[in-house]
Amino acid sequence: MAVYTDIAEDDLKWFLTEYDAGALLSYKGIAEGVENSNFLLHTSKAPLILTLYEKRVEKSDLPFFLGLMQHLSAGGLSCPLPLPRKDGALLGTLSGRPAALISFLEGMWLRKPDAKHCREVGKALARMHLAAEGFTLTRPNALSLEGWQTLWDKSETRADEVEPGLQNEIRSELDFLRTHWPKDLPAGVIHADLFPDNVFFLGDELSGLIDFYFACNDLLAYDVSICLNAWCFEKDGAYNITKGTQMLEGYQSVRPLSDKEVDALPILSRGSALRFFLTRLYDWLMTPEGAMVTKKDPLEYLRKLRFHRQISSPAEYGLSL
């Protein structure tokens, strides 16, 4: 469910007068997504996406997100583009929420991506990293080491409700990552949430990347590890080395990884698995029944974390060393 704030038709029509968007023909809520309220609008000029930013998104971060989409689009990356108001601003207010109109991106996300799709995702991620160069706004990653500890502090006492022994295991993992986390790798703007539902395809051709609302400044190879976790494991929890090989070859065909980035990939992958485990664990334990947040099984990412812990060489991900 991703319509947390409803909108009245008259209010929406008034909102659209602030834009050169044409007359409203129809609109409907979009059920996918978890952070914001999204609507598909059909106007006399073009289809648009209306996003109302909910309380989980800081208003102070919105200039970064919207400006990044403009910058990436200008750099040739296929992604949604914010529509400016008549006064030049990218952000308005609707139903008491910050709101923006975003261009409609053709395509749909894949429920069953295969290796060739993973290769295209790797290439697109590298293109995004390069296109983001020169973007002057910055945003720290709130879901890195310090953020993980904050989430864990809120969940630790109940962790063994999910699986016995989990409290000690995750405490040890956090200690390990604090000690070994790389600090001298190439950094820049990362997507930080490039899961299959944030990549659109038309047939087998990748048509664009969406949902930049976790984007931030961090290690570029960390973004690669997020994609390995999101795209290259099967439903039974097995790592698909064919998908991993294609993902990494696709990325390196656009932006080759340095030797240090390659060496750090197992630790980065442990970190990204822990990041999604912890956010899922927090939601699993703390979200009241009936709340409009879809709880996802944290154990999926615990299994991935345990897989990465056993990796002895980056070659096991499908890298050619």
Q: Name the token pair of 260.
A: 């240090």
55: confidence class by pLDDT, cuts 50, 70, 90: confident
169: confidence class by pLDDT, cuts 50, 70, 90: very high
32: confidence class by pLDDT, cuts 50, 70, 90: low
Q: Which amino acid makes up residue 122?
A: G
| Rounded percentage of the chain residues whose pLDDT exceeds 70 | 96
Segment among 65-69, 127-131, 271-275, 285-289 with least mean pLDDT? 285-289
Give the burial class of 187: count Cβ atoms within 10 A of its Cβ; 0-12 exposed, 13-18 middle, 19 or more buried: middle
Residue range 212-217: mean pLDDT, rounded: 96
Residue range 140-158: mean pLDDT, rounded: 95
> Which pLDDT score, from 0 to 100, does residue 287 have?
76
Is the pLDDT score of 1 beyond 50? Answer: no
Distance CA 154, CA 156 (A): 6
181: confidence class by pLDDT, cuts 50, 70, 90: very high
> Which pLDDT score, from 0 to 100, does residue 5 have?
76
Tens digit of pLDDT for each residue in 268-306?
A: 999 999 999 999 999 999 877 655 556 789 999 999 999
3: confidence class by pLDDT, cuts 50, 70, 90: low
Q: CA torsion sign, 111 to 114 to 117 to 123?
A: positive
What mean pLDDT is reported for the chain?
93
Spell out the alpha helix ranges (H) of 255-319.
Answer: 259-286, 299-309
Residue range 221-226: mean pLDDT, rounded: 98
Return the number of other C-beta atoms located less than 10 Å from residue 197's C-beta.
17
